[in-house]
Each structure stands twice: as C-alpha cells, then as structure tokens.
Amino acid sequence: MSVANLDNFQLERVSVKSQALGKDVHIACRKASSEPPLLLLHGYPQTSHIWHKIAGRLSERFTVVATDLRGYRASDKPAGSDSHVEYSKREMAADQVQVMSHYGFERFSVVGHDRGGRVAHRLALDHLARVDRLMVLDILPTLYLYEHTNMTFAQGYWHWFFLTQPAPGPEKMILSGPEEFWETMSRRESHKAVVWSDADLRAYNSAFVTPEGVHASCEDYCAAASIDLEHDRAGRAAGRKLEVERFDVVWGGQGMMPKFGDVVGLWRRHCGAASAVSGTAFDSGHYIPEERPDELLERIYSFLA
C-alpha cells in the first residue's frame, strides 16, 4: 500500500484523559471503516506508518484504527518526570482504550508490534473486558527479557540500555548525528532485512528527529526499565496473567526472540489456562509488517476469523 493511500485514512487527534498528568493529551489516529474494529499499535522508532503495506487491505474487512503512541509522531509528547509514569505502559494503554471508546468501540482486537506490542500486553492485562483477540509481533514480555538479559541480548538490543541513561545524554547524542543513529540501529542482524523507500524514511525521520520526539521515546524506554517493571512484578506477585480468549505471537526467525528458546511456550507461561495461545515464526527480521506484509495479512485474517 502506498504512502498516499495510508494518508487517505481519516486523520484525527483524539483527546484522552491522562491520570498521571491530571489533564488531557491528544493521540493521533488514522481510521478507515468497515467492521469489526481492529486497533494497530506501532513500535520504536516508528509510527503508524509501519502499517502502510497492509492497512488498506485490512480496512476492507475491519474498522482499522492505527494510532501513534503517546510520544510519537503527531501525538502529544509530555515532558516526563523522574518516575517516568507519564510513559508507563499502563498510561499508554489507557490512551488506546479511550481512543476506541471515542469511536464507539467497547470491545476490539489488537495487533501490536514492538513497543506497541508491550502497550497491547498491558492493555489486555488492565482492560480484559475490552479486548477480543490479541496478536503481538516480535516481542517477549518486558520483565522476562530484563530478568534474562545476557550478552547476546544486550548487544542486539543495546538501545534498551542506552536510551535509559539520564537525560539529556542520549537525546544530545542522537540529535548530534540522527542519520548515524538510525543507520546503526538499522544494520543490526535482527533489523537489517527491511527495505525502506525514501518516502518511508522521510515519514519516520520527520516524526522522530526532533528534540521533543527523541526525548519522548527515551521516556518510553525509561518507563519500561522502571515503573513498568514495578507494575509487572506487582502483577506477578498477585498471580495475574493474560486471560484474553485468544492470543497469537508472530516473531521474526532472523530476529532476537528465538534466541530465548520456545517463544510460544514462554508466552504460554504468562497466559491463563483458559487462553488459547498460538504462534509462528516468519522468515524475517524484526520489522514484520514491512518485511512480510502478505504473510502477516493472511495471519491476521486467519486469527481474527
């Protein structure tokens, strides 16, 4: 699907209430209507543009709502605080629930890639009644990854540790050489299979390479390494698991996730007994929606049928 076709989706900035901030923030959305509702959540350092190869075709069968997460592209970018609560996945998940309520959807399915998968995971934990089916792309649970970090993971996902350094260190380093940073991120073994057009790169970099955008994305990762882990540990201590009726995980066979072993089995340990857990690897790296769009489209059709 071309950039122009994705841009033909209805564009709107939806006002949602932030509990942490005590005020409204605005979440940018692209929407195209059919039925039933499907929420698409992107990852880092990308935007809702990542769905450009499949969103149009999905909109022939679903009401597609593709948002920019809090802190990304045209969504608001709060400054953050020492606790990073403003970018907790609990806050970001609540944003998405309110967006779907704005469009009149009290129950919907979710597909989340990368950071969007982590927001989707928290959304299903905190708002189970709102989620029909959940698919995550190329992730394992955040707490599991931090607790099982080894040299392979630290070298492959080094940005998890770089972006969490005290501000404004990472921000200044990125902004001093944004093209070099993007290139370094993109040539990792797990990420280098994707081919971006000049239009794709403009769509991503125009949104990312601003002081506010870089800082917001650092806050996203700082939250993941702090308050999100607190929430995850509290949930584990209370025996909470994913209870969504159907859960599917798709990962890149050339990526980082299979290095941790049985991806489906690891997710099954985080799901309740009543959840039907499925999963498969694609012959791809990390950016599945852009590397294997046709396969992903068929997987989504089958999973949501």
pLDDT digits (tens, 9 = 90+) for 89-138: 999 999 999 999 999 999 999 999 999 999 999 999 999 999 999 999 99
Of 52, 84, 191, 286, the active-site residue reads 286
Question: Which tens digits make up the pLDDT trace of 227-247?
Answer: 999 999 999 999 999 999 999
Q: Are 56 and 32 in contact (CB under 8 A)?
A: yes
d(CA 196, CA 108): 30
Instruction: Give the type of residue at 67.
Output: T
Q: Give the pLDDT score at 35.
A: 84
Q: Give the pLDDT score at 5.
A: 67
pTM: predicted TM-score of the whole model, two decimal places: 0.97
Q: Are 207 and 74 in contact (CB under 8 A)?
A: yes
Helix, coil or strand: residue 88: coil
Burial 76-107 (b: 16+ CB within 10 A, else e): bbbebeeebbbbbbbbbbbbbbbbbeebebee
Q: Give the pLDDT score at 7.
A: 67
Question: Which tens digits make up the pLDDT trace of 157-181?
Answer: 999 999 999 999 999 999 999 999 9
Give me 204's structure tokens.
């991503």
Which helix (H) or strand (E) segment holds residue 280: the answer is strand 276-282
Q: Decide if pLDDT at 211 tops 60.
A: yes
Of 68, 76, 95, 114, the active-site residue reads 114
Question: Which tens digits make up the pLDDT trace of 269-296?
Answer: 999 999 999 999 999 999 999 999 999 9
Q: Give the pLDDT score at 8.
A: 75
| Residue 286 falls in the annotated catalytic set | yes
Q: Give the pLDDT score at 248.
A: 98
Q: Give the pLDDT score at 34.
A: 77
In this prediction, residue 1 has a pLDDT band, given cuts at 50, 70 and 90, of very low
Instruction: Give the type of residue at 56.
Output: G
| Residue 132 falls in the annotated catalytic set | no
Question: Which tens digits make up the pLDDT trace of 5-54?
Answer: 676 799 999 999 999 999 999 999 999 987 899 999 999 999 999 999 99
Q: Name the burial class of residue 173, with classes exposed (0-12), middle (13-18) and buried (19+) by CB atoms within 10 angstroms of its CB.
A: middle
Which helix (H) or strand (E) segment holds residue 113: the answer is strand 108-113
Mean pLDDT of the chain: 95
In this prediction, residue 4 has a pLDDT band, given cuts at 50, 70 and 90, of very low
